[in-house]
Structure 1
Amino acid sequence: MEVLRRLAAGYHDLMDNKSDPRVNDWFLMSSPLPTLAICLTYVFIVKVLGPKLMENRKPFELKNVLIYYNLFQVIFSCWLFYESIVSGWFTSYSFRCQPVDYSRSPLAMRMAKGCWWYYFSKFTEFFDTIFFVMRKKFDHVSKLHVIHHGIMPMSVWFGVKFTPGGHSTFFGMLNTFVHIVMYSYYLLAAMGPKVQKYLWWKKYLTALQMVQFVLVFAHAFQLLFIDCDYPRAFVWWIGMHAVLFYYLFSDFYKQAYIKKTKKKQMKLNIERMNAVKSESKEMKLPLLNGFSNGSGLGDVRQRMAGAVASQ
């Protein structure tokens, strides 16, 4: 019981005294439990309940819904990217070391609120998976997809609770830019075959996401080698997230593009070999038909003897 009391006291001390007091009364910021419950509910819906409900149903046609949803996400991402730049990045923030400004200055509060809205955007992204389930595209609900969407709200919650600003917001700034490109792609893809034929750059979108995580990794872990008034725990928190997501996205890239291309090339090579063998058999058939039983050879000999006698 004493251990539980100490753990409870430590938890309350962390949440009440070591977090940013500016965000304590903001929606969903008082405790991590509501966010954790929402994330677990999301996983249950997209992996268990959703597929079960859709098992005997026809896929939903969501063309217009997808167009408006992706358009909203593009606009939302553009606004978040703009807020992160105006509040700090490319204006007053240092890419080498940027402590958190815990004051209530207009720019500091603007960045803190931008961090909260970025956290909220992780919930709107749940609809990516929900729409896959409703359209019965269950192969799209991959390990990468569910892990990425399922843990991001929880991860960002800690950032907003303790460090809503400063060095780690580089990840949010970069991520919103990638989402502008990503949801623009999805928006175009939702418009149908007339537009989809021009979307040859999907694999480069995945490559862009991988580059994002390399930059986040390098940007975060540089603080391990320099003095900076920024919580070391969050350096590891952001850096290890970048490592995890880079591994997941690179594995997806290999499966979706490199191995798929190799399989396609192997299949093409086999088809070519079969075609060559088929042509080779067709060329040999007349010879086999003419000489296999000796009758063809006898006819030739008779024709040659007739030609000599006539001379």
Structure 2
Amino acid sequence: MELSEEVKFVDRVSEFVVAYDFEVYDIIWTINWFREHRIIMYTIVGLYLFSIYFGLKWMKHRPAYTLTRPLIFWNFGLALFSIICTLRGIPEALYNFSKPDGTYHVVCVGLPHNFATSFWGLMLALSKIVELGDTAFIVLRKQKLIALHWFHHAATLWMCWIGYEYYETAGRAFFVNAFVHSFMYSYYALKAMKIKIPKKVSQALTTLQIIQLIFGVYMSSSIVYFLAQGRSCRMHFETISMGGIIIGVFLVFFVRFYIDSYSSKEKIKKK
């Protein structure tokens, strides 16, 4: 499908959301830029992993930084951004989900579409670069850095960049990720403020993340199902295959983390 055909349906005004002037941008130029500069994403991921390795070595014999105020502002900023993404991204997806055969419309059909959804989908993709800064706080404060953390950040950036390159239809469900992050970063901000939060809240957040991933598996499986039926689906093999694998790996990691952190067996072991 030609690029112009992929995005010609974008409109400023629709029955589910009205795009503000600042949300109207040159989508075709931006998609082309992403496609021509994928090396930038790979470079960022490489530098991210390089920085983690040498950052941990550099901090090994140094005292931990406190960074309380920067951490509070950082998390509240990302929480606010995630809330806005959720509010701007959810109307179009809910409108399509409410149709007969709603899942097919969300993951495979381009119409209808709106500049507001497109703009905040782009912002969410770019925010995955900013969110790499989460790891800097962990390293500089000498907290435990688990594999789930850095793999999740690197792989999510990869998925979002590729997803925007192809301007994938299913990307309109990005609000699910933003919704989860709204709670997650708010929780981190409150913890940075030394506010005592029950462990049940942390457990609920992990559960919410697992539900998000189950939803991702459902969306990926739906695409495969529709294709097996011989129905057209405006998705690309690279994102369907690699995205499905990464989401599956995320799910295994998060379930394992949940079991290790909250299972009764683990609690007995800690006692």
Interval containing the TM-score (normalised by the shorter chain) = 0.7 to 0.9
| Aligned AA (1:180) | S
In the alignment, is the contact (CA less than 8 A) between 2:34 and 2:164 conserved in 1?
no
Q: 1:144 aligns with which of 138, 142, 148?
A: 148
Q: Provide the rounded CA distance (Å) in 2 between the counterparts of 1:73 and 1:26.
A: 27
Shift of 1:248: 1.0
Match for residue 224 of structure 2? 224
Match for residue 110 of structure 2? 101
Match for residue 89 of structure 1? 93
Counting aligned pairs with the same residue, the percent is: 24
Q: 1:157 aligns with which of 149, 158, 161?
A: 161
Equivalent runs, 1:291-310 vs 2, <5 Å: none
In the alignment, is the contact (CA less than 8 A) between 1:23 and 1:161 conserved in 2?
no
Cα offsets for 1:258-292 (capped at 9, x unmatched): 2531303xx4xxxxxxxxxxxxxxxxxxxxxxxxx
Shift of 1:90: 1.3
Cα offsets for 1:76-125 (capped at 9, x unmatched): 10111122124x111245541133538xx9x4333332221111111111
Equivalent runs, 1:117-196 vs 2, <5 Å: 117-137=123-143, 139=144, 141-164=145-168, 166-170=169-173, 172-192=174-194, 195-196=195-196
Q: Provide closer, same or farther for how the CA distance between residues 225 and 125 of structure 1 changes in structure 2, counting only shifts above 3 A.
A: same
Larger radius of gyration: 1
In the alignment, is the contact (CA less than 8 A) between 1:66 and 1:190 conserved in 2?
yes
Q: Provide closer, same or farther for how the CA distance between residues 241 and 126 of structure 1 changes in structure 2, counting only shifts above 3 A.
A: same
| Aligned AA (1:34) | I
In the alignment, is the contact (CA less than 8 A) between 1:29 and 1:157 conserved in 2?
no
Q: Provide closer, same or farther for how the CA distance between residues 43 and 17 of structure 1 changes in structure 2, counting only shifts above 3 A.
A: farther
Report the secondary structure of 2:36's partner residue: coil
Match for residue 204 of structure 1? 204
Q: Provide the rounded CA distance (Å) in 2 between the counterparts of 1:151 and 1:23.
A: 25
Match for residue 263 of structure 1? 269
TM-score between both structures, scaled by the size of structure 1: 0.69
Q: 2:259 aligns with which of 240, 254, 259?
A: 254
In the alignment, is the contact (CA less than 8 A) between 1:24 and 1:30 conserved in 2?
no
Q: 2:57 aligns with which of 7, 30, 52?
A: 52
Q: Provide the rounded CA distance (Å) in 2 between the counterparts of 1:74 and 1:17.
A: 34
Match for residue 117 of structure 2? 111
Q: Provide the rounded CA distance (Å) in 2 between the counterparts of 1:247 and 1:220.
A: 16
Match for residue 309 of structure 1? none
Q: Provide the rounded CA distance (Å) in 1 between the counterparts of 2:31 and 2:208.
A: 36
In the alignment, is the contact (CA less than 8 A) between 1:28 and 1:35 conserved in 2?
no
Q: Provide closer, same or farther for how the CA distance between residues 26 and 60 of structure 1 changes in structure 2, counting only shifts above 3 A.
A: farther
Shift of 1:255: 2.0
Shift of 1:63: 1.1
Report the secondary structure of 2:137's partner residue: helix
Q: Provide the rounded CA distance (Å) in 2 between the counterparts of 1:18 and 1:245.
A: 33
Q: Provide the rounded CA distance (Å) in 2 between the counterparts of 1:218 and 1:111.
A: 22
Q: Provide the rounded CA distance (Å) in 1 between the counterparts of 2:74 and 2:87.
A: 20
Q: Provide the rounded CA distance (Å) in 1 between the counterparts of 2:119 and 2:185.
A: 23
- Please give the root-mean-square deviation of Cα atoms over the aligned residues, in Å: 2.8
Q: 2:248 aligns with which of 243, 247, 256?
A: 243
Q: Provide closer, same or farther for how the CA distance between residues 19 and 45 of structure 1 changes in structure 2, counting only shifts above 3 A.
A: farther
Q: Provide closer, same or farther for how the CA distance between residues 24 and 187 of structure 1 changes in structure 2, counting only shifts above 3 A.
A: closer
| Aligned AA (2:63) | K
Q: Provide closer, same or farther for how the CA distance between residues 223 and 55 of structure 1 changes in structure 2, counting only shifts above 3 A.
A: closer
Q: Provide closer, same or farther for how the CA distance between residues 251 and 199 of structure 1 changes in structure 2, counting only shifts above 3 A.
A: closer
Q: Provide the rounded CA distance (Å) in 2 between the counterparts of 1:150 and 1:224.
A: 25
Cα offsets for 1:191-231 (capped at 9, x unmatched): 11xx2244542122111111111111112212322324322
Q: Provide closer, same or farther for how the CA distance between residues 18 and 54 of structure 1 changes in structure 2, counting only shifts above 3 A.
A: farther
Q: Provide the rounded CA distance (Å) in 2 between the counterparts of 1:55 and 1:247.
A: 30
Q: Provide the rounded CA distance (Å) in 2 between the counterparts of 1:228 and 1:173.
A: 24
Name structure 2 gaps, 5 residues minimum: 8-26
Report the secondary structure of 1:163's partner residue: coil
Match for residue 31 of structure 1? 37
In the alignment, is the contact (CA less than 8 A) between 1:19 and 1:161 conserved in 2?
no
